[in-house]
A and B are shown apart, each in its own frame.
Chain A
Amino acid sequence: GQNIDQPTEMTATEGAIVQINCTYQTSGFNGLFWYQQHAGEAPTFLSYNVLDGLEEKGRFSSFLSRSKGYSYLLLKELQMKDSASYLCAVMDSNYQLIWGAGTKLIIKP
């Protein structure tokens, strides 16, 4: 079967750095996506990785290791508005997105 694992919830302090991990086992791999979802709202696209390594976009970075079936999302200089759920999704061999359950990130002042 196909499986994506993320921690259910994480807590961090404003101004700090947090790393949200995602491990996956899927039928094929055609890229990994990270989305941000604020409570009651739709997910919005953050990043895409298809090759190993780090992709940086401002305060957010995403890392991929295909051999380990592992990715992480790194958020720097945390702000209160970063409180949200972060969803990891993998595109499988049929170009279908397989979604993790999401990690709820709580930012404390």
Chain B
Amino acid sequence: SQTIHQWPATLVQPVGSPLSLECTVEGTSNPNLYWYRQAAGRGLQLLFYSVGIGQISSEVPQNLSASRPQDRQFILSSKKLLLSDSGFYLCAWRLGEWESTEAFFGQGTRLTVV
């Protein structure tokens, strides 16, 4: 069966510090991978998605970047965090770029920038 791992679960970082959140998927090949951010009481904002190694699409220009160094690994990074980067970050995967398949989510990372 497929599983998705995302870590860490919680993170408190000072303003101006770097960020690296990692997500890995097991049990499937060539998944579509996604990074979302969810503000308190709000919906999911798509940040980045990837349909293959090295292929990254950015939905919202901001202080973050993403990379996919391996087929089942997706990394969200920042060189210098801002207070506005605080939020709940979710990694997700689904199969089939051009198919209607459900997305499966990692446990999420609660990031607080102080």
Which residues from chain A sit less than 8 Å from chain B, CB to CB? 4, 8, 30-31, 33, 40-45, 48, 50, 87, 89, 91, 95-97, 99-102, 104
The distance from the CB of A55 to the nearest CB of chain B, in whole angstroms, is 13
Nearest residue, chain A, Cβ from B10: A40
A40 to B103: give the CA distance in the assembly, Å: 18
Q: A42-B108, A43-B105, A45-B103 given as contacts; is B98 within 8 A of A87 (CB)?
A: no
In-complex Cβ contact of B44 among A91, A95, A99 (8 A) = A99
Which of the four size classes fits the interface of chain B? 20 to 34
Do A33 and B90 touch (CB < 8 A)? no
Do A33 and B41 touch (CB < 8 A)? no
The distance from the CB of B48 to the nearest CB of chain A, in whole angstroms, is 12
State which residues 63-114 of B face A: CB under 8 Å. Answer: 88, 90, 96-100, 102-108, 110
A4 to B44: give the CA distance in the assembly, Å: 12
Q: A45-B103, A97-B103 given as contacts; is B43 within 8 A of A87 (CB)?
A: yes
Nearest residue, chain A, Cβ from B49: A96
Is there a chain A Cβ closer than 8 Å to B53's Cβ? Answer: no
Do B100 and A42 touch (CB < 8 A)? no
Nearest residue, chain B, Cβ from A88: B43
In-complex Cβ contact of B100 among A8, A43, A50, A100 (8 A) = A50
State which residues 44-58 of B face A: CB under 8 Å. Answer: 44, 46, 49
Do A99 and B107 touch (CB < 8 A)? no
Do A42 and B107 touch (CB < 8 A)? yes
